[in-house]
Amino acid sequence: MLPSWLLEKGLLEGLTGAQAGDLGDSWLNWIIFMIMIAVLNIYGSKLQVQMWMNQIARALGQLQQLTREASDTFLQEASKFGGDGERVKKILQEAKGFFTISPVTLDPTGAIRRLENILDEAEDSLNRFVERAAPKADSVKRANLRDQLEGVIVLDLIFRIVRHFYLLGRKTQNWIYIAQVQMQLPEIMRIARAYWRSSTAFQKGVPVGDSIGPLIALRLIGDAPVEEVAKNVVAAEVELEDRRVIVVKAKGPGGEVGKPGEAIRRIVESRGGKVAKIVMIDAATKLEGEPTGEVAEGSGAAIGDPGPEKWKIEEVASQYSIPVHSIVIKQDLLEAITPMAQEIAEAVDKVIERVRRTIREGTKPGDVVIVAGIGNTVGVGNTLGRAEVMAVA
């Protein structure tokens, strides 16, 4: 049972020259044991906080690295399109920390319009940053660079916030600051890595999970001609299930989301409200445990914008009593901004099946139905097998 051969050979005895039971005196054992327990009790929490601090410091290093890599990718990409290294660096420095201030809602009247105004200006500002950084980029490349720049800004913000709590905790020695960051660290890092990855997706122009809406819209459009109906939104009329279906998507293949609400409002109004149904297709945040690519449907406008576009759709739909039906494809927050997972891409046929059924239900042959594929259209063109947008309004 015991490796007594080891003892009999006397190998270890020769090395240590000790006698059996030297350390076996019970009082000595107990004193060592007690001292260790006492030390751990008194300094345990301090040690714990120190370990948390170390973890956060390491994460900070990684965050800085991710931010730097995303910045470098932006820099490289911008310099391919006429950006000068030093100047792009300066522009990046100016763009970092870019913020938007939400409108006053104490007086809710017109808050949506005020919000839209602010968001428009935010987008324009970012576009101007990109135009200065990469003057030779075309509209597709400019949109992708803008999305890339947004990723850098978010990564930089995450880094700043974590650094803030780390330094605050170190300065005040208040473990609450340390603990709250440490506990959230895995999630923070997951989000940061997703933004870092999304920056490569936008650099290469690869569709992300959120592009599933436009991708399905494109499949419905087929090779029908499209026209631009609102800022960065295209539409095409196709016949599906004997209905006249107007398919709406953001104008690709650059990373645009466009103003689909504006487009739907214009289409409905131009037809005097004679629209039988509005069907919206969008990516939706899944609950943990739900499989990626699961399809669900429901009532209401599925669109994850900060408010204005959704508001326009709801307004125009209620004004003309048009039912709004939504079909969503489940994915988690990170899948939505990183290259589209195969499970999501393979949901396309299932969704189209449901769209066809939804178009039939509650409408008559010959009715007009609007189908909107909502989301960022990066890497998704406007018609199958055609290189360019046919008509631009």
Partner 1 sequence: MPEEREAKEGPTLAATALMIVMSLGLAAFSLIIIYYGIRAAGSRTETPGMDAWFQVLFGVTGLMLSLKMVYDVLRMKISPEEEEPTIVSRLQCVDCGHWKEREFREGEYVGLKTGEACPKCGGSMFVAAIYAKRPRKQARRPLF
Cα(123)–Cα(128) distance, integer angstroms: 9
Q: Which is nearer to partner 1, 108 or 385 (CB)?
A: 385
Of 61, 273, 300, 366, which lies in the binding site for partner 1, with binding defined by CB under 8 A?
A: 61
What does the per-residue mask of binding to partner 1 show for 306-335, with x meaning CB under 8 A?
------------------------------
How many C-beta atoms lie closer than 10 Å to residue 229's C-beta? 23
Cα(73)–Cα(278) distance, integer angstroms: 40
Q: Which is nearer to partner 1, 104 or 287 (CB)?
A: 287
How many C-beta atoms lie closer than 10 Å to residue 215's C-beta? 25
Q: Is 215 in the site for partner 1 (CB under 8 A)?
A: yes
* Rounded to 5°, angle at Cα 322 from 317 and 326: 85
How many C-beta atoms lie closer than 10 Å to residue 190's C-beta? 12
What does the per-residue mask of binding to partner 1 show for 265-304, with x meaning CB under 8 A?
------------------------x-x-------------
Q: Is 14 in the site for partner 1 (CB under 8 A)?
A: no
Q: How far is the CB of 379 from partner 1 (least distance, A)?
A: 5
Size of the residue set binding partner 1 (CB under 8 A): 59
Among residue numbers 356 through 385, which ones bind partner 1 (CB under 8 A)? Answer: 379-385
* Rounded to 5°, angle at Cα 111 from 109 and 116: 145
Of 83, 169, 207, 258, which lies in the binding site for partner 1, with binding defined by CB under 8 A?
A: 207
Q: Which is nearer to partner 1, 61 or 362 (CB)?
A: 61
Q: Which is nearer to partner 1, 11 or 176 (CB)?
A: 11
Decide: helix, strand or coil at residue 260: helix
CA 102 to chain centre: 20
CA 362 to chain centre: 35
Cα(288)–Cα(267) distance, integer angstroms: 37
- Amino acid residing at 17: G
Q: Can you spell out the DSSP letters for 186-215?
A: HHHHHHHHHHHHHHHHHHHT--BGGGHHHH
Q: Is 167 in the site for partner 1 (CB under 8 A)?
A: yes
Among residue numbers 334 through 353, which ones bind partner 1 (CB under 8 A)? Answer: 338-342, 344-345, 348
Q: Is 10 in the site for partner 1 (CB under 8 A)?
A: no
How many C-beta atoms lie closer than 10 Å to residue 132's C-beta? 16
**95 and 122 Cβ atoms separated by less than 8 Å:** no
Q: Is 43 in the site for partner 1 (CB under 8 A)?
A: no
**335 and 292 Cβ atoms separated by less than 8 Å:** yes
Q: Is 57 in the site for partner 1 (CB under 8 A)?
A: yes
Q: How far is the CB of 149 from partner 1 (least distance, A)?
A: 19
Of 17, 24, 108, 272, which lies in the binding site for partner 1, with binding defined by CB under 8 A?
A: 24
Interacting residues toward partner 1 by CB under 8 A: 2-4, 6-7, 12, 16, 18, 20-26, 29, 33, 50-51, 53-55, 57-58, 60-62, 64, 163, 166-167, 193, 204-207, 215, 218, 252-253, 289, 291, 338-342, 344-345, 348, 379-387
